[in-house]
Structure formats: C-alpha cells, structure tokens
Amino acid sequence: MLKEYLPILILLVFAFVFAFGTLLLSHFVGPRKYSDVKGEPYESGIKPFMDARVRFSVKFYIIAMLFIIFDIEIVFLYPWVVVYKEIVSQGIFIFIEMIVFVAILLIGYFYLWKRGAFEWE
Amino acid sequence: MNKRPEIEEIKARFPESYIRDEEFRGDISIVVRKDRIFDIFKFLKEDENFLYNFLVDVTCVDYLKLNEIERFAVVYHLYSHKNNSRIRIKALVPEKDTVISSVCSLWKGANWMEREVFDLFGIEFTGHPDLRRILTPDDFTGHPLRKDYPLKGRGERENFKVVK
Amino acid sequence: MEEKDLDLQTEILVLNFGPQHPSTHGTLRIVMELSGEVAVKATPVIGYLHTGFEKLSEHLDYNQFICVTDRMNYLSPLNNNIGFAIAVEKLLGIEVPKRAQYIRVIMAELSRISDHLLSIGAQALDLGAFTVFLYFYEEREKLYDLFEWATGSRLTTTYTRIGGLMRDLPEGFEDAVKKFCKGLPKVIKEVEILLNRNKIWLGRTRDIGVVSGEDAVNYGLTGPCLRAANVEWDIRKMEPYSSYDEFEFDIPVGENGDVYDRYLVRMEEMRQSMRIIEQAVENLPEGPVDIDNPKVRIPKKDDVYNTMEGMIHHFEIFMKNRGFIPPVGEVYSSTEVPNGELGFFIVSDGGRCPYRVRIRPPSLVNYQVFPMMMEGRMLSDAVAILESLNIIAGELDR
Amino acid sequence: MGIESLLKSNILVTTVDAVVNWGRKYSLWPMPMGTACCAIEFMSTLASRYDMGRFGAERLSFSPRQADLMVVAGRVSIKMMPVVIRIWEEIPEPKWCIAMGACASSGGVFDTYTLVQGIDQFIPVDVYIAGCPPRPEGVLDALVKIQKLVEQDSIKKRK
C-alpha cells in the first residue's frame, strides 16, 4: 500500500530541497547593503506621502470572503468526481448527496444576492 | 485703411486702457493697459459679432532690452470659431507691481498657461484657482525667463546628493 | 452598500502615479487621491522634463533653433521643424517654392502617421494588446528608414531650413513612399479587426474620459481630442498653410468624445494622411527647393567654392555676429501637428537671434482636461485616458 | 595531479562566480528611466526589428526592486534628478547604469539653467552611449559592454 505513495514523497522532498536550496544559495551568494532609502516603499521615485496601510472600504473584504466560500465548495467536488464512476453503479445515493450539498450553498448564494453583496459601486 | 472692427470697438468702449494697435504680416495686435483687461476679454468673448470663444495662448514677453512703455507684456492670443479670425491682445504690466487679473473664469484652458507665466516671469494673476510653480521645482527661487536671469542658471543644477 | 460605506470612515489614500511609471511614457506625475479604487481627485504635476527651450532660443540664431525644435515632440519631429520654419518665413514675409511646400506636406503627413502609429501602439500596449504595438512599430520602423534616407537621421531630423529644405528628396524616394502607402492600409485593417470590436478594448475605452464639445473648446483642446468631441476644426482646412488647400481630404470627427472616439479619429486620420501623401507625390512639381535669396538661405556648395558672391553670402550668414537680419516685429503662426495646434510666437528685435520664441504646445493645453475626466473613475482608467490624450513630456515641459 | 584528472572529463568543474555571472549576464532586467527622445529609440531597440530579446535583456522591470541595470534614456532636468537618484538607491546590488545619449551623459545641446549636465556627477555610470539619439545598434553594443562588466563581477568583492 505504501509503495503507491512513494512518487509523492519524492516530489515533496525535491520541492522542499529546491525551495530552501535556492533561498540558502541566494542568502550566501547575494550581497546585502542596507540603506535608508532602500527600505522605504517605492512610489515611482517620490517620497511616499503616507503609509499605505489605510482603512479602505469593506466591500473588498466581503468579496474575498465570498470567493473563499465558493472556492472551497469546488474543492469538495474534486474527490467526489474522482470516485463517482465506480460508486454510481451501486446506487444513486452519491449523486443525491452532492445535490444536497450544492443546494445548501445555492441558498447561501441567493441570500447574498438579495442582500446586495454583489453590487460593486 | 479700414481697421478691423475689433479695434474700433475696443477703442470706443475702453478708450482709457487702449494704447495702440499694430498690424504685421497679417497679425492684428492691440496693446492695452492691464487694469480693465478682464472686461475687454468678457466683451470679446460674449459680443455676438466677435465671439472669441477659443483662447489659444497666454504668454509673456520681457521688454527689458527693447523700448516699450512697461517692462512686461502679457500676450493673449484669441481665435473665434465662428468667423475664423485671430487677434492678439498685449497687456502691459509695469515692473513695480506685476499683478494682472486672471481669465480662468472665462476660459478654463488658461489655468496652466497663467501658472507657467507666473513661474517663469513672476507675474501674479489675481483670481487664479491655485497659483503655484508649474515647470520649475517648488523650491526654485527666481524667474528664469526674465532677461536678467543667466542662461546657465545660478547653480541649481549642481547641488544634489552624490551617490557612490 | 453605499450608505453603509460612509459611517465606516474609509480614509483617502494619496498615491503618486509618478514620474517614473510604465504607462506615463515620459515624466508625467499625477497625485491621485483614491478611496478604494476610485480616484476622488487627480492633480497632474508637470515640469519633470523642463529643458528651457525658450530661454535657449534667445541665444541661438534661427537656423540653429530648428535643431532644438525636433527635441520637443519626439514622436513627430518633422512637424515641429516645419512649424518653426513656416513661422520664421512668415516673420520674414518670404514664400518657399512650390516644390519645397509639397515636400513639406509629404514629410509632415508621414510624420503624422508615425506619431499616430506610436500613440495608438503605446495605448494598446498599456491596455494589454502587445501585438498591436509590435505591428505598428514595425510600420514606424519603415517610416524611420524613409526619414533616415531623406533627412539623414531617424528621429532628430532637422530637415527644414529657413527658406527651404536641407536638401532635395533623394532619387526613388517617391516610389518608396508609394510602396509604404500601399502596405500600411493592410496593417491598419489588421489592427482594426483586432481592436474595433474587441470586448476588452471596448470595455476599457468606451464612455471613459468623455469631454463635451463646449468643454473641449473652453479648455482650449485641439487636434484629435477636439475632433473626437464632435467639433470639426483643423488648421489645415481653416487656415491652409504650405499649399494644403490644393489637396482634398476630409477631417474625421467623433461623436461623444471618449477614449474610443479619439482612437477612431486617429486611425481615420492616418488614412486621410495617406490620401494627402498620394496626391502630393502624384503632382510633385519640379524646380528648386530653396528660395534664391542668398541673404537668407546659404547658396549651394559648388557656388560657395567657385563664385565670389557665394562665398561672401555663405560667411555673411554663418559668421559669429553676422547672420541674416530679420525685420523687427512679432508674429504668431500655428500649424496642425498630430496632437493639435503647435503655435510659435516669435518676437524679433532685428538681431541675429530671436528676442523671444514662445512655443504653444498642444500637450500642455490638452493635459488640463485630465483631472475633469479622471474624477470618479477607477485608477486603471487613468492609463487609458492619459494615453488617449497622447501627452508628450518633451513638448509639455519645453 | 589536480582534481580534474581524477574526475576525467565527464564532470565540469567551475566556480560559483562563473555560474552566477553567466546566468545574470544573459538575463539582465533593465530599468528604463526613459525621459525624452532616447526613450523612443530605446523602444526601437526593444521592438521587433532590433530586438533586445536576443541579448536576454528584453524583460523590462519598471520597479527598481528587481532591476539589475538602469538605463537613463533622455535628458534629466533638475526636477527629475532627485527621482533618478532615489530610484538608483532603491535598486539592489549588484547594479549597473547606462547613460544613454548625449543629454544623459553630458547635458547634450541644452546647456540651460534646468538641465543636469551629465548624470555621472551624482550617480556612478558604467557605460555611456554617444549619439542624439544613439542608434539601436549603439544601445545593443552598450548592453554587450555591460555584459562584459557583469562577467568580471565577483561575490568576494561584494561582501
């Protein structure tokens, strides 16, 4: 059973080695000369007027949250699709299950639509 | 020779501020005093048989070396779309009080041109929305396009931070 | 969502759309006050390329200043040379021979096409259509070959002289221009297929940066920006100079003055310029290219070396404190350059150098309409609006 | 009896410098400080006919954070000089600078009150390109000169 997971392990190790390898290499090879101007934010060559961490409208945050909700919903579909072929021959239950899941989220979608979370202006 | 109607009208309506008019290579220019300049322009813009609705240019000439009544002359070029005619109005501004009224309320296009004249010649425009320097840096002293300003400047182009 | 927005006290972020920015194409700086993405207020700051042309003009004589003029609008340098030459010829009251006028029309229209090519190419580049930039730039390189062949340099041409041209057109130049004018419509057609009904392009340019006819005239706009706002005005038609009245061409006019209309006007203007070029090349008259007034225009090289008067006139013009003597007077002359009306106001005190040369750049006046267009729009629209006005920092700051 | 003879000819021995410099030399990211006419000629160098991509320097980086090479293309006025200095300081080492055209190198034809007579008075310039504006071949030649400079660069010098 374990043998099937060996390629994934090799992939993880290789990714880990490559990522931290390049970081270490650039740490040793790259020069580091700090100067006060280099630390300041770049604003097309002019000293910035104010710090960019400013309170802007909440709609950006709401849109981000909505995206995460519906993105996770799609992530749950992936494993379902992979096993759908074998299990659907035994019974229709797997299909009903996913329909219920999607329906619940659709209710949330319509609720948001009515509340006007999608108007941007 | 029959003068252009604009010259007659201005001579009639503003006799005390009219000085002279010149005609050279087909360009008509009227030299006036600076105090009633706004009314002259309002008249030229709204009068129905002139309708100078297009301000082409606002600039300034420093007559230090030429013999002119006053040192500065703010020169306006107007153009009327209706009867396709151009005219030049020169308002003489003495060296002592370099102030003249702004025409921004008549033509919005005059805003930056007046700021440029203020920046390079030092002539203030009363009634201008935000009279600031436009071409030279904000901490620049002096007015470069005056005749007594040296071509190579007064050392502003040398004092910067040297980075090694 | 709107009313709840207010009590959340969102702050305004003041941001620099700075002098060094990929899409300002030059040193233009805009101080943007943004609430979220929407620009509440935009104030342009100019002067980052102020080179003091007008101060320099008081120390250079008339022929020397021509070399400075093509550093102003470096997208179409030939139009500046021709504009200044026409202004000084108006001051001197002389008229260049017919052939020189026709060559000036050909070169001005070729330069107008090259300006529109780069202006539309750069706008498409910044709105995401990189292929349009490369297609148009290849055409502009063909134009560079023509300019280099006729004037000797790709960009800083300095082709005109007071009273004529630097030299006549080289052999075979006319058929090269005809060949170019045959190839360009195909490329323009290709780009029109790419852009005119492109969803993204329409979304980024339709109804953005709208200016009405009266506002355009009140702000003093000229050129494609004015013609896109449904005002039919072109100096080549209204006050024809350099024998423009002998060619028929029509002036493209837009309807509602937005970025899309300015793009359409520029594309149509390129076609009209090609029409003018074809007519000018067809009936290009023979004859000399300079006026034969040795006081103003230096004589031919072989005259200078072989005849006594030629040498005297040559040195009469070029010696340190000699030079030709213009009459005393003030002249304003304007020509139609790709961005609008380029005016030269020359005050001459009879000396070798002009007393004062005031350059009326179309970019300085067209750029004033930007804050009005920008308020209430998203930050990404600033790129589309700025490119459609085609602001060139060289002529903006002089 | 160096190490090479042990490894025979199937392993290539080189220094970190050589590898890093070879990599950086052919992938310079130019930061175009394009102000005036030279910027248009720089555009010609990037466009399809003269194609700077053949030398690996096609990817422009307008933000100084990832730039290796600053190309000052065009005349620099006194209002723009502080911006050029600030951006030069914001570029991380190792960095090189090209002064493109006569105006950036020496003020060119404009000897006026508002033009900096050559940016090398204030920032270290590695390669100057003559010409007003220089032809695209001149810009490519300058790029090749910069690549030679990049070759001689070394990690030890920079520590």
Are the beta carbons of D86 and A45 separated by less than 8 Å?
yes
How far B38 CA sits from the closest chain D CA (Å)? 34
Q: Is D18 on the interface with A (CB under 8 A)?
A: no
Alpha helices in chain B (DSSP H): 5-13, 37-46, 110-121
More confident residue, C388 or A37: C388
Instruction: Write down the residue that tokens 């230096």 correspond to.
Output: C298
Q: Is residue A121 part of a domain?
A: no
Whether pLDDT at C64 is above 50 = yes
- pLDDT (tens digit, 9 = 90+) per residue, A69-99? 999 999 999 988 888 888 888 888 888 888 9
- pLDDT (tens digit, 9 = 90+) per residue, C281-293? 999 999 888 888 8
Confidence of residue C31 (pLDDT cuts 50, 70, 90): very high
Pick D29-153's CATH classification: 3.40.50.11060, 3.40.50.720, 3.30.470.20, 3.40.50.12280.
Answer: 3.40.50.12280
pLDDT attached to residue C291: 84
Q: Which residues of C touch D60 (CB under 8 A)?
A: 22
Average pLDDT on D57-84 reads: 92
Instruction: Write down the residue that tokens 């909505």 correspond to.
Output: A66
Burial class (CB in 10 A: 0-12, 13-18, 19+), A39: exposed
Lowest mean pLDDT among B109-113, B151-155, C258-262: B151-155
Helix (H, G, I), strand (E, B) or coil at C330: strand
CA C332/CA B145 separation, integer angstroms: 19
Q: Strand pairing of B27-33 and B18-24?
A: antiparallel
Average pLDDT on A109-119 reads: 89
Q: What are the residue boundaries of the structural domains of chain D, listed by start?
A: 29-153
Helix (H, G, I), strand (E, B) or coil at C240: coil
Q: Are B69 and B92 in contact, with CB atoms under 8 Å apart?
A: yes
Nearest C-alpha in C relative to D110? C51
Where does CATH 1.10.645.10 sit in chain C? 53-397
Q: Which residues of C touch D35 (CB under 8 A)?
A: 26-27, 48-49, 393
pLDDT attached to residue D158: 63
Confidence of residue C272 (pLDDT cuts 50, 70, 90): very high
Tokens of C342: 């380029």
CB-CB: which of D20, D90, D158 is closest to A42?
Answer: D90
Q: Is residue A10 part of a domain?
A: yes
Q: Is residue A7 part of a domain?
A: yes
CA D95/CA D70 separation, integer angstroms: 8
- Give the residues across from C218 on adjacent strands: none
Helix (H, G, I), strand (E, B) or coil at D31: strand
How far A45 CA sits from the closest chain D CA (Å)? 5
Beta-carbon contacts of residue D107 (< 8 Å; ≥ 6 apart): D75, D115, D116, D117, D118
CATH number at residue A71: 1.20.58.1610
Average pLDDT on C331-342 reads: 94
Whether pLDDT at C78 is above 50 = yes
pLDDT attached to residue B6: 86
CB-CB: which of D77, D87, D109 is closest to C48?
Answer: D77
- Give the residues across from B126 on adjacent strands: B101
CA A121/CA C51 separation, integer angstroms: 43
- Of the segments A27-31, A55-59, D19-23, which one has the largest average pLDDT value? D19-23
HSE of C285, CA atoms in CB hemisphere, 13 A: 14
Are the beta carbons of C56 and B29 separated by less than 8 Å?
no
pLDDT attached to residue B69: 87
- Percent of chain D predicted with pLDDT > 70: 91
Confidence of residue C1 (pLDDT cuts 50, 70, 90): very low
Nearest C-alpha in B relative to C220? B109
CA D133/CA D145 separation, integer angstroms: 19
Helix (H, G, I), strand (E, B) or coil at B6: helix
Helix (H, G, I), strand (E, B) or coil at C333: strand
Q: Which residues of C touch A56 (CB under 8 A)?
A: 10-11, 13, 35-36
Q: How many separate domains does chain A show?
A: 1
pLDDT attached to residue C326: 87
Q: Is B96 on the interface with D (CB under 8 A)?
A: no
Domain extent for A99: 2-115
Reported ipTM exceeds the 0.85 cut? yes
Q: Which residues of C touch B113 (CB under 8 A)?
A: 364-365
Tokens of B32: 């006036």
pTM: 0.90
Whether pLDDT at C133 is above 70 = yes
Touching B (3+ Cβ pairs <8 A), the chains are C, D
Q: Is A46 on the interface with C (CB under 8 A)?
A: yes
- pLDDT (tens digit, 9 = 90+) per residue, C118-132? 999 999 999 999 999
In the stretch 115-154 of chain D, residues with CB closer than 8 A to chain C read 115, 132-133, 135
Q: Which residues of B touch D122 (CB under 8 A)?
A: 160-163
Confidence of residue C7 (pLDDT cuts 50, 70, 90): low
pLDDT attached to residue C48: 93
How far is the CA of C58 from the CAs of A103, B76, C66, C393, D135, in angstroms? 80, 21, 13, 22, 30
CA D114/CA C363 separation, integer angstroms: 20
Q: Strand pairing of D127-129 and D96-100?
A: parallel
- Percent of chain C predicted with pLDDT > 70: 98
Nearest C-alpha in D relative to A41? D90
Q: Which residues of A touch C8 (CB under 8 A)?
A: 55, 57-58
Instruction: Write down the residue that tokens 């953005």 correspond to.
Output: C208
Average pLDDT on A25-54 reads: 83
Q: Are C171 and C141 in contact, with CB atoms under 8 Å apart?
A: no
Whether pLDDT at C255 is above 60 = yes
Average pLDDT on D85-99 reads: 91
Q: Does domain B5-126 have CATH number 3.20.20.140?
A: no
CA C66/CA D6 separation, integer angstroms: 71
Residue B17 identity: S
Q: Strand pairing of C164-165 and D30-34?
A: unpaired
Whether pLDDT at D9 is above 90 = no
More confident residue, C2 or A4: A4
Q: Is D155 on the interface with A (CB under 8 A)?
A: yes
Q: Which residues of D touch A44 (CB under 8 A)?
A: 83
Confidence of residue C143 (pLDDT cuts 50, 70, 90): very high
pLDDT attached to residue B120: 93
Helix (H, G, I), strand (E, B) or coil at C166: coil
CB-CB: which of C22, C137, C397 is closest to D62?
Answer: C22
Selection from B83, B145, B151 nearest residue B117 by Cα: B145
pLDDT attached to residue D2: 67
More confident residue, D153 or A15: A15
Whether pLDDT at C2 is above 60 = no
Classify domain C53-397 by CATH architecture.
Orthogonal Bundle (1.10)
pLDDT attached to residue A25: 85
Q: Is C97 on the interface with B (CB under 8 A)?
A: no
Whether pLDDT at B68 is above 50 = yes
Q: Which residues of C touch A59 (CB under 8 A)?
A: 1, 5, 36
How far A67 CA sits from the closest chain D CA (Å)? 30
Touching D (3+ Cβ pairs <8 A), the chains are A, B, C
Q: Is C46 on the interface with A (CB under 8 A)?
A: no
Q: Which residues of B touch C332 (CB under 8 A)?
A: 27, 57, 77, 86, 88
More confident residue, C176 or A83: C176
Tokens of C323: 């030079």
CB-CB: which of C2, C8, C20 is closest to A44?
Answer: C20
For residue C140, is it left (φ>0), alpha (ψ between -120 and 50) or beta?
alpha
Q: Are B32 and B39 in contact, with CB atoms under 8 Å apart?
A: no
DSSP for residue C109: H
- pLDDT (tens digit, 9 = 90+) per residue, D123-154? 999 999 999 999 999 999 999 999 999 998 88
Residue B27: its H or E element: strand B27-33
Q: Is the peptide bond before D94 cis (omega within 30 degrees of 0)?
A: yes
